[in-house]
Copies of this chain bind each other. A is one copy, B any other.
Amino acid sequence: MAANETGSKAATLSDVARRAGVSIATASKALNNRDDVAVATRQRVLRAADELSFTPNAMAKGLLAGRTGTVGLLTSDLEGRFMIPILMGAEDAFGAGQVSVFLCDARGDAIREQHHLRALLSRRVDGIIVVGRQTDPRPSLGQEIPVPVVYAYAPSDDPRDLSLTPDNYTGGRMAVEHLISCGRTRIAHITGDPSYAAAQDRIAGARAALEAAGLELVGEPMFAEWTEHWGRDAAALLLQRHPEVDAIFCGSDQIARGVLDTARDLGRSVPEDLAVIGYDNWEVLSTNSRPQLTSIDANLQQLGRQAAQRVFDAIDGVDIGEGTHHLPVRLVIRGSTIPRR
């Protein structure tokens, strides 16, 4: 037999009612703990339902109630490293209640996204969370959607939408402030693709922190890609050109790993001689390096949870506001940065 094909169709309410010897209406009332049902009758119905392992048909219920208890999660890049924690946070917040999540991956393709959006609306989801793969603004789904929409990670380009995104500016500032508080003054920055808003925002924050301390970046920020490989190359270049550098703020943990490699190759000891700070707090990378990597954590799971909460609120008719909200990030201190002296 095919895997679990228990021929028997799922029991319906009328099956239960018949077995309990009551009307459908009464059975419904009994199962939903409404009044106007005698205790004995209720017992009988409950037993019948149990015996038939009755599960109410959520569709029929939803059809009637006008709400489905489902939410759509529209991601653009499922495999992405940032998608997952957000997704988990959201799933977490929803899963706790009686809400189920429809997962859609548009693979970064607008056509696919439109297609999935149609499917979600057709399934009458009560709300939608749109998760993007970068912190760059993305096209809005529009204001015509009949259910609340919240944008997570990638904000919408329409200020009338509600967007939640990590605060990269403050992240950059915190990273550099931490380095300064460790007694470093000759700080350089190696980061990834300059076309990413995340890269620019972090630099802006970093510069603000430096300026507040009367310092300047050593050299210009070094841009290329978010890889370990680039981290190695960039660090080699940097340490050759500016050997006086005593701290490097890296745009990602991957880059930081590369930097650590090069530092070791060149005999620069981390953190004594050179402090290194990463970004993203990707624990597979940050906790396995030598030394372990100080990093900025964007609290993505938290972000996902909040997005879900906003959708909940909107469903309940609460005004959830609009505009792009920058959620707090967090400094995680590990061995790659310690106070000098």
Interface, chain A (partner B; CB < 8 A) = 1-6, 8-10, 53, 55-60, 62-63, 66, 68, 70, 73, 78-79, 84-85, 87-88, 91-92, 95, 98, 100-105, 112, 116, 118-124, 141-150, 160-162, 227-229, 232, 254, 257-258, 261, 284-285, 288-290, 310, 314, 317-322
Given contacts A55-B121, A78-B88, A261-B290, whether A149 and B314 have CB atoms under 8 Å apart is no
Q: Max chain B CB contacts within 10 Å: which of A58, A119, A160?
A: A58
Q: A58-B124, A103-B103, A122-B56 are in contact. Are A320 and B2 (CB under 8 A)?
A: yes
**Apart from A1-B160, A254-B284, what 9 extra A-B contacts exist at CB < 8 Å?**
A1-B322, A3-B314, A4-B144, A55-B122, A56-B122, A58-B119, A63-B63, A78-B87, A284-B284
CB-contact partner of A63 in B59, B104, B258, under 8 A: B59
Shortest A205–chain B CB gap in Å is 26
Shortest C-beta distance, A332 to chain B (Å), equals 17
Give the docked Cα–Cα distance between A84 and B142 (Å). Answer: 29
Complex partner residue of A6 from B8, B105, B144, B290, CB under 8 angstroms: B144
Q: How far is the CB of A278 from chain B (nearest CB, A)?
A: 14
The CA-CA distance from A131 to B56 in the complex, in Å, is: 26
B116 touches A95 (CB 8 A): yes
Q: Which residues of B lie under 8 Å from residue A258 when comparing CB positions?
A: 288
The answer to whether B56 and A59 have CB atoms under 8 Å apart is: no
Contacts known (A2-B319, A88-B78, A143-B6); A57 close to B288, Cβ less than 8 A: no
List, in ascending order, chain B residues with CB within 8 A of A55's CB.
118, 121-122
A119 touches B91 (CB 8 A): no
A3, A104, A321 pick with most chain B CB within 10 angstroms: A3
State the Cβ distance, A159 to closest chain B Cβ, in Å: 11
A288:B102 contact, CB within 8 angstroms = no
Q: Chain B: which residue is nearest A292 at the CB level?
A: B229
9 contacts between A and B (CB under 8 A): A1-B322, A4-B149, A6-B143, A6-B145, A98-B119, A100-B119, A101-B102, A228-B288, A228-B289
A79 x B73 contact (CB < 8 A): no
A118 to chain B, nearest CB (A): 7
The residue in chain B whose Cβ has the minimal distance to the Cβ of A57 is B124
Set of chain B residues within 8 Å of A88, measured between Cβ atoms: 78-79, 105
